[in-house]
Amino acid sequence: MTSPASLMLVAASLCLSVFFAVWLTRFPWGKSVGTPIFVIVICALLSNLGLIPSAMASHPIYDGIFTYIAPLGIFIALLEVDLKSVRKAGLPLLAMFLLGSFATVIGVLVAWLLVQPAAAIGPLAPALAGMFTGTYIGGAVNFSAIALHYQVNEAGNLFAAATVVDNLVGTPWIIASLILPKYLQKLFPRKKLASAGTGKQVRGAENITLSSLAALFALSLLGLALSQVLGGWFPQVPQIIFLTSLALLLAQFPSVQQLQGKHTVGFFFILLFLAVIGTLCDLSALLGVGDLAVTLLLFVGTLVLVHGLVIFGLGALFKVDWDVIAVASQANVGGNTTAIAAAESLERPDLLIPGMLVGSIGNALGTYVGFAVVSLLL
């Protein structure tokens, strides 16, 4: 049983990682990297050095962040959203998301031809290809659904190795997709969407008062509680839909718009979520799966590389806003939460709601496409 003192040490380590990441951005070179990248890298290093536990195994602090802190951060961040921006950003992001889904399928087929995983994995290789198709179109929900259908979860070592490699490849791609827009914009300037400046506040100028802080926490906690109740009444509807809808409704009230601290508090909670994502990059977990890890790393690495080249390459060809491409890719690779975290990290509140919506589409679409890929490869 984990002691209260060790729980507090882990929580303090995550907070200190955020503090140090913010401090690094005071330097010109650090500002070009960005706080979210530093948070992920710092926590990945701490986890691999054994200073904090990996999220590959369940941990009360990490479970609490996934269950409560991340949804609260999303809710508070969404209170910044201006509905006018959603209409302007929605269609471009949807188009890039669909392109990203197509890029994932192409990546799986290319990886299948180049790596030939069936030789090392055996008859479950097509099912595994379908699992990675699903997870890189709409997130981990699809990964699990396809694994359960083909009983891959009963093949202990294979399922564990697939989960480890998914996290090891997915986490660096989160970092890459947050870095690429900044540098690509410098090298190949793209006109931002007309919605890019809508609702965007001056960062660092928030004058947080006790009353604003109390109101933000009260609204977000009530919103989370109500979304959980509604989720129980309507289990077929993802809870994040209720959470998002409530936040979006409240965001239109002038009294909520005037609350200070929405960006600071929401972004801090999202950084804690990204800190836990960093601990998923656990290199030691590969030691227990031997040569199988090499095959899976090559397969998933090729998949993600092709996905990135296609979505950023075609996006560049059509002169799409780089931030839109990055958020669309994260909606594919990580689902709703990662897409929202990417939009907030890139300081694009206009992409928060569209990112959540296309992530939800991915949750529905990924499983079907994953099954189709399995049928094609059998």
Residue 338 CB contacts under 8 Å (≥ 6 apart), including other chains:
139, 174, 277, 330, 331, 359
Query: Residues with Cβ < 8 Å from 156, sequence gap 6 or more?
Result: none
Look at residue 376 in the predicted model and tell me its pLDDT: 93
Q: Which of 17-26, 75-84, 212-221, 241-250 has the lowest mean pLDDT?
A: 75-84
Is 201 inside any structural domain? no
- pLDDT exceeds 50 at position 60: yes
Q: Would the CA dihedral through 367, 372, 376, 378 be positive or negative? A: positive
Which token pair is 231?
A: 């989720």
Q: With respect to residue 274, please indicate whether it lies within any of the assigned structural domains.
A: yes
**CB-based contact 245:356 (threshold 8 Å):** no
Dist CA 259 CA 322 (whole Å)? 30
CB 291 within 8 A of CB 30: no
Is 101 a residue whose pLDDT tops 80?
Answer: yes
Structural domain including 12 reads 4-191+207-377
Angle made by CA atoms 35, 95, 263, in degrees to the nearest 5 = 30
Q: Is residue 272 part of a domain?
A: yes
Residues in the chain: 378
Residue 202 lies in a domain: no
* The predicted structure's pLDDT at residue 32: 65
Residue for token digits 């990417």? 342
- Answer whether residue 39 is part of any domain: yes
CATH number at residue 15: 1.20.1530
Query: Range with the lowest mean pLDDT among 1-5, 88-92, 214-218, 352-356?
Result: 88-92
189 vs 376: which has the higher pLDDT: 376
For the chain, what is the domain count? 1
Residue at 198 is within a domain: no
| Torsion angle, alpha carbons of 18, 19, 24, 26, to 10 | 120
**What Cα–Cα distance (Å) separates residue 324 from each residue in 66, 95, 135, 329?**
25, 10, 20, 9
pLDDT exceeding 70 applies to what percent of the chain? 91
pLDDT tens-digit series, residues 290-341: 678 889 999 999 999 999 999 999 999 998 999 999 999 999 988 777 888 8
Which one of 140-154, 226-240, 314-328 scores highest in mean pLDDT?
314-328
Report if residue 24 sits inside a domain: yes
